[in-house]
């Protein structure tokens, strides 16, 4: 579910889906730093974690992207996530860090490939 929600954020930034970044269907301009690149990480990284492919590195990249978002975008607006509107970035960062540490679940494609090779 976390990966699915992360993918939705990527679709929102890249294609303007779900109301876009402004509620009017606007996407982040292609190549714009850091918003467009963050959207690419959300879409690609979230998809990899969802499928269980390269789970640990993808989850670590997703975690780092959200930590960057929290410290660069949200923290200057206030100390706590509820006052700086950074609770989603903080939660995504910690959840993806947990996934990077724990690794993929038993249904992950990474594990299926390992079993098939053995």
Reported pTM: 0.90
Quick: pLDDT tens for 16-75.
999 998 999 999 999 999 999 999 999 999 999 999 999 999 999 999 999 999 999 999
DSSP 25-91: SBPPPTT-TTHHHHHHHHHHHHHHHHHTSSHHHHHHHHHHHHHHIIIIIIGGG-SSHHHHT-HHHHH
What is the domain range of residue 100? 2-117
Domain count, the chain: 1
């Amino acid at each position: 579910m976390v990966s699915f929600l992360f993918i939705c954020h990527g679709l929102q930034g890249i294609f303007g889906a779900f109301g876009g970044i402004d509620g009017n269907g606007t996407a982040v301009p292609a190549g714009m730093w850091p918003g467009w690149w963050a959207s690419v990480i959300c879409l690609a990284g979230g998809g990899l974690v969802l499928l269980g492919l390269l789970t640990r590195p993808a989850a670590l990249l997703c975690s780092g992207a959200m930590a960057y978002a929290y410290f660069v975008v949200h923290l200057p607006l206030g100390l706590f996530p509820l006052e700086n509107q950074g609770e989603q970035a903080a939660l995504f960062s910690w959840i993806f860090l947990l996934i990077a540490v724990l690794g993929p679940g038993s249904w992950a494609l990474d594990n299926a490939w390992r079993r098939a090779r053995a």
